[in-house]
Amino acid sequence: MKSNKQIVTIVISAALLTGGAAFGQSGEAILDLLTKKGVITTNEANAAREQFDKQTAETINQYNKIKLSSWVNSLQFYGDGRLRYDWRSGSGNAAGIGTYDNADFDRFRYRLRVGVVGEYQDNFSYGLRLETGTKGDSANSTMGGGANANTSIPGVSSGGPWGKAGSSTIGVGQFWAQYKPADWLTLIGGKIENPFISTKMVWSENINPEGFAEKLKFKTAKVDWFLTLGEFTYSNLSNQNNFASLAGVPDAWMLGAQGGGKVKFTKDVSLTLAPTFYTYSNPLGASGGAHFSPTLVAGNIYAVNNLNVFDLPAELAFPIGKYPGKIFGDFAINLTANTRAADAGWSADGNQGIAYQVGAAIGDNKKKHDWLLKAYWQHSELFALDPNLVDTDVFDTRLNMQGEVVSSQYLFTDYLSLVLTYNHGDAINSALPTLTGAGDLRGNLRNYNLMQLDLNWKF
């Protein structure tokens, strides 16, 4: 018996000297072999395992400087950075009258995002992401762009150039809690990633809505079915109910429902369809009671009255030789565009309630030396979409525009990539406003050009 204990001690000592991983791979095999040969008993082998686990835990606790609660199963940090050169130009008119002119500018920008995700016991998890920028639809900061009202020098903040005010502020990009009571059901709330399958035509990838979402997934042999519901607090401007006769303003909510599936024809060929419907409760509460009223000068361009949008993003994936390829598209129609146009005083030019996108891509962007080429055509009419959600780069956050977008990406390493993007757009109806968002080029545009060069890295 004494010799058996010595053998067990030798096994444990060897495991500790070579690390826990070595024990998991070879220590178990040694104990099993000794048990089979009758050198040690099963009870002695189990006692050795318990002793090793105890000593390993004590060693980890001694050298672990980050202390986690016992109910935290995992904790992971992540992040990404980006340096960007951005050039934009267009012809238009700031006042909507007179001769059209050309405008252009360029700038260097940067973006930093850092976050943490963790898992609790009992199927709970959480996430937090901090990022540069103060806008809800962009985490970019402009080099030399930290303006401050305390100085008369444009672009220079208090204390000299390269100040840390304005867009350089670090804000909360995402903050959420999630509960997954079953494999087929996920409940999430907070400032969350867009839970819907969407395109830049409808929803900028930089916008993280605030509210709640419920995701249901069911898998069969050929189809992955999904149903996603979203309830987002769109605007909370004042008290819902006030004292005396002062009028209250109920919150405005954005509500969405998406159902669909991914049909798997073969291992590499699939079709995804995701029909979606977006609507808004108390839409006038989002703009203090004003209707959407784009004009050639400015007007109220943020209201979401008479927006009931049916959207259908789709993607057909298939191999092109040895490379993955896909054809993708998106079709959206505002079912109440006629009323939205009439309220804005532009009904004589038709409903202007349709938007669509069609494109193709080849390549991948997962590992070192991967490359990706993508191109698409986009057409977005004036009353088709929520102007607050569309992408900030494609058409400079504008509707009543159509044109092409081309991009290419190359991965130098698993973590470092270069992306080149070009976009050209023209007004669909030059008699209608294109000023429907906080675009970087002021005024209405007849045409628009964009070129961006991004250096991205992740950690």
Contact present, 405 and 411 (Cβ < 8 Å): no
Identify the band that residue 151 occupies on the pLDDT scale cut at 50, 70 and 90. very low
pLDDT in tens, 84-122: 999 999 998 876 666 778 888 899 999 999 999 999 988
Contact present, 232 and 252 (Cβ < 8 Å): no
| Res 255 pLDDT > 70 | yes
Give me the architecture of the 75-133+169-458 domain, per CATH: Beta Barrel (2.40)
**Between 2 and 137, where is the model more confident?**
137
Which residue in 401, 457, 354, 304 sits closest to 91, CA to CA? Answer: 401
Which residue in 195, 199, 345, 332 sits closest to 259, CA to CA? Answer: 195
Identify the band that residue 454 occupies on the pLDDT scale cut at 50, 70 and 90. very high
- Kindly state the average pLDDT of the residues 302-316: 95
Supply the pLDDT for residue 168. Answer: 65
| Res 148 pLDDT > 50 | no
Q: How many CA atoms lie within 13 A of 177 on its CB side?
A: 2
Bridge partners of residue 181, in order along the sequence:
none
Supply the pLDDT for residue 166. Answer: 57
- Kindly state the average pLDDT of the residues 241-249: 69
**Between 167 and 184, where is the model more confident?**
184
Model pTM score: 0.82
- Kindly state the average pLDDT of the residues 225-244: 85
Identify the band that residue 24 occupies on the pLDDT scale cut at 50, 70 and 90. low
Supply the pLDDT for residue 107. Answer: 92
Average predicted confidence (pLDDT) for the chain: 86
Domain boundaries defined on the chain: 2-63, 75-133+169-458
Cα distance between residue 73 and residue 65, in whole Å = 17
* Three state DSSP letters for the chain: CHHHHHHHHHHHHHHHHHCHHHHHHHHHHHHHHHHHCCCCCHHHHHHHHHHHHHHHHHHHHHHCCCCCCCCEEEEEEEEEEEEEEEEEEEEEECCCCCCCEEEEEEEEEEEEEEEEEEEECCCEEEEEEEEECCCCCCCCEECCCCCCCCCCCCCCECCECCCCCHHHCEEEEEEEEEEEEECCEEEEEEECCCCCCCCCCCCCCCCCCEEEEEEEEEECCCEEEEEEEEEEEEECCCCCCCCCCCCCCCCEEEEEEEEEEEEECCCCCEEEECCEEEEEECHHHHCCCCCCEECCCCEECCCCCCCCEEEEEEEEEEEECCEEEEEEEEEEEECCHHHHHHHHCCHHHCCCCEEEEEEEEEECCCCCCCEEEEEEEEEECCCCCCCCCCCCCHHHCCCCEEEEEEEEEEECCCCEEEEEEEEEEEECCCCCCCCCCCCCCCCEEEEEEEEEEEEEEEC
pLDDT in tens, 172-183: 999 999 999 999
Cα distance between residue 218 and residue 197, in whole Å = 16
Identify the band that residue 364 occupies on the pLDDT scale cut at 50, 70 and 90. very high
- Kindly state the average pLDDT of the residues 218-243: 88
Using a pLDDT cut of 90, give the percent of the chain over it: 58
| Res 48 pLDDT > 90 | no
Q: Counting every residue, how long is the chain?
A: 459
Identify the band that residue 350 occupies on the pLDDT scale cut at 50, 70 and 90. confident
**Between 379 and 71, where is the model more confident?**
379
**Backbone torsions φ then ψ of 22, nearest 5 degrees:** -65, -40
| CA geometry: angle 281, 312, 392, nearest 5 deg | 70
pLDDT in tens, 439-450: 788 788 899 999
Identify the band that residue 236 occupies on the pLDDT scale cut at 50, 70 and 90. confident
Supply the pLDDT for residue 150. Answer: 43
Contact present, 256 and 274 (Cβ < 8 Å): no
Report residue 172 CA to chain centroid gap: 13
**Between 127 and 151, where is the model more confident?**
127
**Residue bearing tokens 């070192």:** 368
Task: For residue 280, give the amino acid letter.
Answer: Y
> 327 exposed, middle or buried (CB, 10 Å; 0-12, 13-18, 19+)?
middle
Cα distance between residue 418 and residue 412, in whole Å = 8
Indicate the pairing of strand 416-427 with strand 401-411: antiparallel
Measured CA to CA in angstroms, residue 440 lies from 104, 197, 391 at distances of: 10, 27, 13
| Res 16 pLDDT > 60 | no
Contact present, 7 and 25 (Cβ < 8 Å): no
Supply the pLDDT for residue 14. Answer: 62
